[in-house]
Amino acid sequence: MGNALLVAVVADEFEEQALAIAAREGACQATTLAGRGINFPEHVTFFGLTYQGLERVCLWVLEEERATHVAECLNRELELLKPFKGLAFCLKIDDGHAPP
């Protein structure tokens, strides 16, 4: 089994919860990046100004099976598959070596 990059895009207020869920499932040492404007809806404020909100992009490199399991937990527990909540998904990582 190879490795995978687990990517979770979540609203800023769910970052700590996402990291805690991942750690509970064995995914520690995340890299987090600030995101903005990743197709979450704009919020209109009192004075007619728009606020897009802040998102966090959390990244982990894990064994493929564990990455898939953690992504499923994040999607389920944070309800990320509902509109405008976020998304967790995996990308298979090639080790760069040619097959034998």
Instruction: Report pLDDT digits (tens) over 24-59.
Output: 999 999 999 988 765 555 555 556 555 556 789 999
Domain containing 60 — which CATH number? 3.30.70.120
DSSP label of 74: H
Residue 41 within a domain: yes
CB atoms within 10 A of CB 21: 19
Number of domains in the chain: 1
Produce one character per residue of 36-53: b if its CB has 16 or more CB atoms within 10 Å, e if not.
Answer: eeeebeeeeeeeeeeeeb
Q: Specify whether the CB–CB gap between 4 and 90 falls below 8 A.
A: yes
Segments forming the whole domain that contains residue 34: 3-92
Predicted model pTM: 0.80
Residue 59 Cα distances to 41, 84, 95, 98, 100, angstroms: 23, 19, 17, 26, 30
Residue 15 within a domain: yes
Residue 99 within a domain: no
